[in-house]
Amino acid sequence: MTKDAAAEEKFLLWLFENQNTIKDGGAVYEGERVTMKSLAVRYETCCSIIFMTMRKKTPMFLKDSSRARKSQITASIVSYIFGWWGIPFGLIFTPVVVMNNIRNAGAIPVEELFKQFADANYKPPDENIFVKLGFYALSYVGAFASLFAITSVASMFK
């Protein structure tokens, strides 16, 4: 388990264990007050190298916490600097990711998380099929195409 996954699991486990306290008026998590109307948020980064573009979500944080602000700024800056360099997806995904980070588009009320906990069939949402199959397949095809192009150009100078 990665450090990010462990941090998110810790937060969600704390929420699950403190549902009643939060419903009765609120609880405190890492110095931040959590109520039913509090927002949990995740941000996203986008990094690209030539024909390969990757998107990754940060762990879930309370929206107004200092850790969330730090994560928002870091994810946006990393995406803004390193996201553009992929063709074509870096040029498409980078502005989307940066704008979503600025607008807190990944925010979900704690109340909604509790509804998801209550659903016995709840499973965390997977990435869409395009990301899982098409996007990564195109990334690998692009990587092989660029490798082929480099070797072809190199062979011309022999």
For residues 82 and 139, membership in a common domain is answered with no
Number of domains within the chain: 2
Query: Amino acid identity of 142?
Result: G
| Distance (Å, whole) CA 43 – CA 68 | 9
Among residues 96, 93, 90, 103, the alpha carbon closest in space to that of 63 is found at 103
For residues 28 and 80, membership in a common domain is answered with yes
For residues 105 and 73, membership in a common domain is answered with yes
Single pTM value for the model: 0.68
In degrees and rounded to multiples of 5, residue 118 shows phi and psi of -70, -25
pLDDT at res. 140:
55
Residues of the chain falling short of pLDDT 50:
125-138
Domain that residue 120 falls in: 3-124
User: Could you please report the per-residue DSSP string of 101-149?
Assistant: HHHTTT-EEHHHHHHHHH-TT--PPPPPHIIIIIIHHHHHHHHHHHHHH
pLDDT at res. 106:
81
